[in-house]
């Protein structure tokens, strides 16, 4: 009987929480939360860097969420440690989303080169081509932004240089260099862009083949790196307060610090090896 009552109580609690979330979505709480995470969203969709105020807001939000999660898992001590790491994690999230934006921008460089070549072959100037090319994703956002700037009278070289710096990719450096070189010295820019697109696609294919060849080794390394964390979580679930005791005991704290340091060194080493393989 007690098990059945507990089951119905849990079901009612889930339904009540769902209704509470539905009610919160129509209040200022949801709007404030959306406003707080907006810089994180823009970092992934526009590659924009948050302002100082936005970074502080994200840090406070991350610290509060991690403190609540740490308190539920391991008590006050874990909550304090998790809250302290909040600003660092918020910064890491913003950096990761901006890196993903730039990676998507670099991956779309061949498609952009071909689209520009087609627009130029159709009779557009480079200013007109930048305004008419439609590419989905981050590249489309940046090209539309460049087209609007040109429509308002911005200098072509200034717009292209801004686009190149925003991409931060050798592929986009080549595209911008080819366009500026053709403007100063002349030449068949559409064919140049098509040849460049073919070269970039070949380089991308070779990089993917290198990643595929090392996929199993990288996956195994990630599993090995994650095993201690999984074991710690399972131990905490089996014996609540274990992680807190590790922090309060000087000897266990020292050993845990050494272990985490070695884990971090292994993670950085694996990332560098992967980066060197794909070069």
Look at residue 23 and tell me whether its pLDDT is greater than 70: no
| pLDDT band, residue 179 (cuts 50/70/90) | confident
Q: Find the angle CA(55)-CA(57)-CA(59) to the nearest 5 degrees.
A: 70
| pLDDT band, residue 279 (cuts 50/70/90) | low
Domain ranges of the chain: 2-103, 108-205, 214-278
pTM of the model: 0.64
Give the CA dihedral 57, 59, 60, 64, nearest 10 degrees. Answer: 140
8-state DSSP, 47:
-
- What are the residue ranges of helices labelled H in 46-151? 52-74, 76-84, 86-107, 109-121, 126-132, 138-151
Residue closest to 174 by CA, chosen among 201, 153, 148: 201
Mean of pLDDT values over 105-118: 86
Model confidence pLDDT, tens digit, residues 225-269: 777 778 877 887 787 777 777 777 787 778 878 888 887 887 787
Where do we find the tokens 């008590």?
75
* Contact predicate 210/277, CB 8 Å: yes
């Amino acid at each position: 009987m007690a098990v059945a009552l507990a089951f119905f109580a849990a079901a009612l609690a889930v339904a009540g929480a769902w209704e509470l979330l539905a009610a919160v979505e129509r209040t200022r709480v949801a709007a404030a939360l959306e406003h707080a995470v907006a810089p994180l969203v823009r970092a992934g969709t526009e590659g924009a860097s948050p302002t100082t105020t936005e970074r502080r807001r994200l840090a406070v939000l991350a610290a509060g969420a991690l403190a609540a999660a740490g308190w539920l898992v391991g008590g006050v001590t874990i909550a304090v440690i998790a809250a302290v790491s909040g600003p660092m994690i918020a910064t890491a999230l913003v950096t990761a989303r901006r890196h993903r934006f730039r990676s998507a921008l670099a991956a779309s460089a061949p498609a952009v080169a071909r689209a520009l070549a087609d627009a130029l072959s159709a009779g557009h100037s480079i200013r007109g081509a930048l305004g008419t090319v439609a590419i989905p994703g981050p590249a489309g956002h940046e090209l539309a932004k460049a087209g609007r700037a040109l429509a308002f009278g911005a200098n072509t070289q200034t717009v292209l240089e801004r686009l190149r710096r925003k991409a931060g990719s050798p592929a986009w450096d080549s595209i911008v260099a080819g366009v500026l070189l053709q403007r100063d010295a002349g030449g068949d820019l559409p064919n140049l862009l098509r040849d460049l697109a073919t070269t970039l696609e070949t380089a991308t294919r070779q990089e993917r083949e290198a990643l595929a060849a090392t996929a199993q080794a990288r996956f195994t390394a990630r599993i090995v790196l994650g095993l201690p964390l999984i074991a710690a979580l399972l131990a905490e679930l089996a014996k609540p307060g274990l992680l807190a005791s590790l922090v309060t005991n000087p000897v266990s704290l020292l050993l845990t610090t050494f272990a985490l340091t070695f884990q971090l060194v292994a993670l950085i080493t694996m990332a560098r090896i992967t980066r060197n393989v794909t070069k």
